[in-house]
Amino acid sequence: MEQFLPVFFVMAMGLALLLYVILDGFDLGVGLLLPQATEPEKDIMIASIGPFWDANETWIVLGIGILLIAFPKAHGIILTALYIPVTLMLFGLILRGVAFDFRVKAGSAHKQLWNRMFFLGSLIASMSQGWMLGAYITGLESGLTSVLFAALIALTLPALYVMLGAGWLLVKTEGELFDKAVSWGRRALPSMGFALILVSIATPIVSSEIAARWFTLPSAIGLLPIPVSCLVAYFALYRLLKRPDFIRTSNNWVVYALLILICLMAALGLAYSIYPDIILGRMDLYEAAAATDSLRFIFYGVAITLPVILFYSAYVFWVFRGKATDLSYE
């Protein structure tokens, strides 16, 4: 039990953060794409995420909550090192929430202002999360190389969110907006691919620990399915977006599914790179874990809460399945 509980909590935390990227990623992506749409299209885009975006943000709350209660030592170090980007992320998420409501309640005269605020909040949140990820991968170091790497991820992570947003719109829209989503995805795909290549090259450069884990035999052979599956998924996306007839009808979910596969493979690669550390090169998950009695007590809460949130999220997606309809705040 003493060995199992820290692993359980780190897996639960990783799952929560992965689901946040996959689910709230399309929310953020739609926000980033908003300026490129016409006014009626903006309403449909907002309607496509309206029933989901609050529930999607629950996953980051759960992930950070697990970090706090299960790994309090790591929580203090991580949140202290990432104080500024975390604050900016929260500012961006709050701005998105305010803009979501005010874009209609403020009246048509100020609707454009709140559309811009929704885009700005999405951009701030996306770039802040990219900085946090880059800083975390480098072990929260403050050197020039680490700062440049964090800046690189901050600039490139929004490309993934744009792709998730475009993929979501392919599922939820039709007609001219569907065609625009195909075009947006086609334009964003090279940026996402460039970002994946840069991160793949830069990560082992900035971290000798990660390089050692990936480029020594026999581990290098066993890990081949991760980059290979990402490469196959990327070229499948390229083909689908070049010839969208296949995804225009009942196969409109395929693009989003391929993006989920890329996110999953990236998460598995990161988990392998870091485990058993919770802060790379500084603290492993057993050193960071709370007392066993405390972990045993909160285990039951997480074991109940996690399936409930999963069920609720699945239920919401089932109820609001199908194409987005005209926006209504009633």
Q: Tens of pLDDT along 242-299?
A: 887 888 777 888 899 999 999 998 888 888 888 888 887 788 888 888 888 888 888 8
Q: What percent of the chain has pLDDT over 90?
A: 21
Q: List the single range of 32-36, 43-47, 179-183, 194-198 with lowest mean pLDDT.
A: 194-198
Domain boundaries, the chain: 4-319
How does pLDDT run across 151-183, given as a tens digit for each residue? 888 988 899 999 999 999 998 888 888 889 989
Amino acid type, 237 = L
Asked which of 71-75, 155-159, 235-239, 250-254 is least confident by mean pLDDT, the reply is 250-254
Mention every residue, 6+ apart, whose C-beta is less than 8 A from residue 46: 30, 34, 100, 103, 118, 327
- Give the Cα separation of 315 and 307 in Å (integer): 12
Q: Is the pLDDT of residue 87 over 90?
A: yes
Tens-digit pLDDT profile for residues 101-148: 787 776 666 778 888 899 999 999 999 999 998 888 888 888 888 888
Q: What is the pLDDT averaged over residues 50-76?
A: 86
Q: Is the pLDDT at 1 greater than 70, yes or no?
A: no
Q: Is 185 left (phi over 0), alpha (psi -120 to 50) or beta?
A: alpha
Q: Does CATH place domain 4-319 in 1.20.1630?
A: yes
What are all long-range contacts of 143-148, with beta carbons under 8 Å and residues at least 24 apart?
145/206, 146/206
